[in-house]
Amino acid sequence: MWRTWSGTQEARPRRIAAPSGTAAVAAAVRAAAEEGLRVRMVGSGHSFTGAAVTDGVLLSPTGLARLRGVDAEAGTVTVEAGMPLCDLNEELHARGLALANMGDIAVQTAAGAVQTGTHGTGRDCGGLAEQVVGMELVLADGSVVECSADRESALFEAARVGLGAFGVVTALTLRVEPAFLLRAREEPMRLEEVLERLPQLRAENDHFEFFWFPHTGRTNTKRNNRVQGPAEPLSPLRSWLDDEFLSNTVFEGVNRLGRRVPAAIPAINQVSARALSARTYTDASYRVFASPRRVRFVETEYAVPAEALPEVLAQIRRILDSGRHRIGFPIEVRFTPADRVWLSTAYGRDTAYVAAHVYRGMPYADYFRELEAVFTAAEGRPHWGKLHTRGRGDLSAAYPRFEEAMAVRDRVDPQRRFANAYLDAVLGA
């Protein structure tokens, strides 16, 4: 049995294999085809949707986790698909390199993160898929293909955020930069003030985001900006106190209390929001972007046109004010510029991401359904790895290049060797 980090999905595959190279992946795909079994490679199981679930052959990524090479002149690195991002970060750092942008955590595999369109926040640089310049894939017939903007370009554009539907990714070539420092400034701010100053906060900062505490008008803002130095990391004690003890141990306790006494959640949120104090530190980029998240939750996230954000938040506030839900987890708001990746949630538009979380074991379906109606009315696109109920009909209308991507899928996987129930729902059977 395989299950996701959040416990939302389980798989009972016919068998599990851990191929240790591209040829072994190709052999596993061919063998599955001969037996009439479906195939999926999983990442670290950090999707909330059933994207990675299979009833056939589950390919584990553990044997595909090496750095293949660095092309200093081109400013790229090639990594095997199953390398965890945290290992990639260390490998890059040791060579004086870094990813330009990334999400909140770094335990996902490189391919797993890219395949669902994992993103952070940024004024100039978008999600991980936008940083991918080449991919090696094993297709349904067991053939190995390299693709990029100049080679098999339609396959490249469709399969970059491809949910594993186009083939098993065996390696990724990513654009990298010289290692850089980020100065992080975290500061509580009223939601009204954030919204009033939003254009300026977005324009003046390399990476701006905020966390809104439901049932309150309070947020915690984060501004990360590139600086020359010197590095001034948090002391080990402060780092442990804030990022481990308060953000995980105490936050877990607070959520347990809220689960036992939901009526107390608004008051708890007021205290939590006030307990935060401003802090500033400067550290290697990847240590600022990502931090440990040990408190388990379920999540939905939608990408909406950036200009729709104030109205979307106003509608969410109405839902929270209705008293129908008691939500202890902050709502996270991030931004990315438009990109050109066909199935990326930021395709063709300046994007705001709104993510809602609910502590494990608490009811979430009605809350997420109400939020989804708001996001859908704003022409939102659901994160492929986070809970939603949209199907192919809606998604085809939401993505201008959707049908072109599906034509590529018909060409490279006509028998749906890589399908599962989730892909049947979102891409069609």
Ligand X SMILES: Cc1cc2nc3c(=O)[nH]c(=O)nc-3n(C[C@H](O)[C@H](O)[C@H](O)COP(=O)(O)OP(=O)(O)OC[C@H]3O[C@@H](n4cnc5c(N)ncnc54)[C@H](O)[C@@H]3O)c2cc1C
SS3 content of the chain, % helix, strand, coil (to 5): 35, 25, 40
For the bound state, the minimum distance from the C-beta of residue 394 to ligand X, rounded and expressed in Å, comes to: 19
Q: Which of residues 332-351 bind ligand X (CB under 6 A)?
A: none
Query: Looking at 76, 78, 89, 115, which residue binds ligand X (CB under 6 A)?
Result: 115
Q: Which of residues 153-212 bind ligand X (CB under 6 A)?
A: 163-164, 168-169
The answer to the question of residue 13 lying near ligand X (CB under 6 A) is no
For the chain, give the number of residues. Answer: 429
The answer to the question of residue 40 lying near ligand X (CB under 6 A) is yes
Q: Which of residues 277-306 bind ligand X (CB under 6 A)?
A: 293
The answer to the question of residue 11 lying near ligand X (CB under 6 A) is no
Query: Looking at 76, 78, 118, 315, which residue binds ligand X (CB under 6 A)?
Result: 118
The answer to the question of residue 46 lying near ligand X (CB under 6 A) is yes
The answer to the question of residue 56 lying near ligand X (CB under 6 A) is no
CB 101 within 8 A of CB 183: no
The answer to the question of residue 119 lying near ligand X (CB under 6 A) is yes
Grouping H, G, I as helix, E, B as strand and the rest as coil, residue 16 is strand
For the bound state, the minimum distance from the C-beta of residue 324 to ligand X, rounded and expressed in Å, comes to: 26
| 220 DSSP β-pair partners | 188, 211
For the bound state, the minimum distance from the C-beta of residue 374 to ligand X, rounded and expressed in Å, comes to: 20
CA distance 58 to 337: 35
Taking the CA atoms of 405, 407, 412 and 415 in sequence, report the sign of the dihedral they define.
Answer: positive
CB-wise, 52 or 133, nearer to ligand X?
Answer: 52
Q: Which amino acid would we find at residue 420?
A: N
CB-wise, 60 or 239, nearer to ligand X?
Answer: 60
Stretch that binds ligand X, among 36-44, 91-99, 174-182, 367-375 (CB under 6 A): 36-44
Provide the phi-psi class of 128: left if phi over 0, else alpha when psi is between -120 and 50, else beta.
alpha
The answer to the question of residue 51 lying near ligand X (CB under 6 A) is yes
The answer to the question of residue 214 lying near ligand X (CB under 6 A) is no
For the bound state, the minimum distance from the C-beta of residue 285 to ligand X, rounded and expressed in Å, comes to: 15
**CB contact set of 196 (below 8 Å; sequence gap of 6+):** none
- DSSP structural state of residue 130: G
CB 77 within 8 A of CB 92: yes
CB-wise, 170 or 266, nearer to ligand X?
Answer: 170
CA distance 119 to 102: 6
Q: Which amino acid would we find at residue 123?
A: R
Could you check whether the bond before residue 266 is cis, i.e. omega within 30 degrees of 0? no
The answer to the question of residue 47 lying near ligand X (CB under 6 A) is yes
Binding site for ligand X (CB under 6 A): 5-6, 40-47, 51-52, 61, 81, 103-105, 108-109, 111-113, 115-116, 118-120, 163-164, 168-169, 293, 383, 385
